[in-house]
Structure 1
């Protein structure tokens, strides 16, 4: 099962008041589809937690032609492009009626849940199929330049509802904190065509962070002056 597909019918909790799929829910849907693919291949959460490992998202690039809407049934297609032993590139296509609306590329790192550091993958990949020539996005997922003068938007304290199963703030929450600090009009007009994210350091329950922006395009989340997350938006 080298290429995996999953259908989603969008419900009201996943959509903005204008009926369009939330950007954070889009990210969530992509990642859950990738997780389901990993489970089917034998290196999902349960298999990896048994060897004290987990997948963590390092970078994500999403290119958007159009956002699907409430009640529409979409299909997400995903495949692994490459794997180095510590990192994997996973690509995505989101389709509506066989038309590709959204593409994405992501970089995942093998994470040791005891040392809280990157690790060498402990499970076998002999059965894996990689599509090294099959890209999804126009540009590769890359590093964002965070060396700019950011301005404070808001401050936030990590809550229990932000945590996921490996006891750190889920990466989708980082997006939500940034979007919640923006002018809603800039989100609801559906003009965002590219979202690029770098997940640099984990955050935990009770951490106090600041959400900052530069030029209404680059956003960051910092703790104690250190950057934990970067997001760049292109319209």
Structure 2
């Protein structure tokens, strides 16, 4: 296999119906573009889902932090650069840079991924795939200046905000609730009036457990040190009455 560059660059368009009332790209659609870039990058280099599914493996997102200066507007063409900055036995770090045609940097992302067995749903050794091929593509010199995801702490007094059921459109290729769907549902906890006064500066999400179609998701929100900084916890229930945590988020506005 031909050795490719360590950094991949993929071009996208902010399509008008992927933009919100302010004519800027929805954060959820940006997240989809970032995950697509990650998929393109890993497949081209031989350790992506196209190969992994043949050996009963897949990638799952464990953590994601997105920090933006601003968002692409409708019809803006932009690129997502992505690269691996670390590879360990059970986790790998992947960075993102969102860049406009003129070179303007919209923002950055940091993520952590695990590889799991499709049957057991348990983590497997990333470095065992193709004799550790991923190590040949680790790039540590290219800058991603944002902080890694923080450890979100929530108290037992966090306010329950909303519960929603999950359906066909929530499920992705891995058979569980799509990583970006959680982001969209979390951002819906604030109404249109809030977004007319505030924009999203930073979004963090840490995935704790999988949820599936038919699970009911419960959203709890708690304010941090300022009135524009929040933690969110998502839990699931499947009819038995007990809740299990699915993920935790931080949302910082400006």
TM-score range with shorter-chain normalisation?
over 0.9
TM-score of the superposed pair, with normalisation by structure 1: 0.94
Structure 1 or 2, whichever has the larger Rg, is 2
Tell me, in whole angstroms, the C-alpha distance in 2 between the residues paired with 1:188 and 1:113: 43
Q: Which has the higher contact order (CA 8 A, sep 6+)?
A: 1
Matches within 5 A, 1:11-30: 11-30=15-34
Tell me, in whole angstroms, the C-alpha distance in 1 between the residues paired with 2:155 and 2:141: 32
* RMSD (Å), alpha carbons: 1.6
Q: Secondary structure at the match of 1:105?
A: strand
1:26-46 deviations in whole A, cap 9, x for unaligned? 111111101100110112212
Q: 1:87 aligned to 2:91?
A: yes
- Name which of 181, 185, 193 aligns with 2:189: 181
Matches within 5 A, 1:1-235: 1-96=5-100, 97-121=102-126, 122-124=128-130, 125-126=132-133, 128-147=136-155, 149-189=157-197, 191-215=199-223, 217-223=230-236, 224-235=242-253
Q: Which moved more, 1:104-113 or 1:189-198?
A: 189-198
CA contact (8 A) 1:63 1:137 kept: no
Q: Secondary structure at the match of 1:36?
A: helix
Find runs of 4+ consecutive structure 1 residues off by over 6 angstroms.
Answer: none
Tell me, in whole angstroms, the C-alpha distance in 1 between the residues paired with 2:196 and 2:96: 24
> 1:71–1:33: structure 2 CA closer, same or farther, 3 Å change rule?
same
Q: Secondary structure at the match of 1:50?
A: helix
TM-score of the superposed pair, with normalisation by structure 2: 0.87
1:160-219 deviations in whole A, cap 9, x for unaligned? 110011110011001111122322233354522111111111110100121121126111
Consecutive unaligned residues of structure 1, counting only runs of 5 or more, are none
> 1:144–1:134: structure 2 CA closer, same or farther, 3 Å change rule?
farther
> 1:179–1:119: structure 2 CA closer, same or farther, 3 Å change rule?
same
Q: CA deviation at 1:138?
A: 2.6
Q: Which moved more, 1:205-214 or 1:144-153?
A: 144-153
Consecutive unaligned residues of structure 2, counting only runs of 5 or more, are 224-228, 237-241
Q: CA deviation at 1:117?
A: 1.4
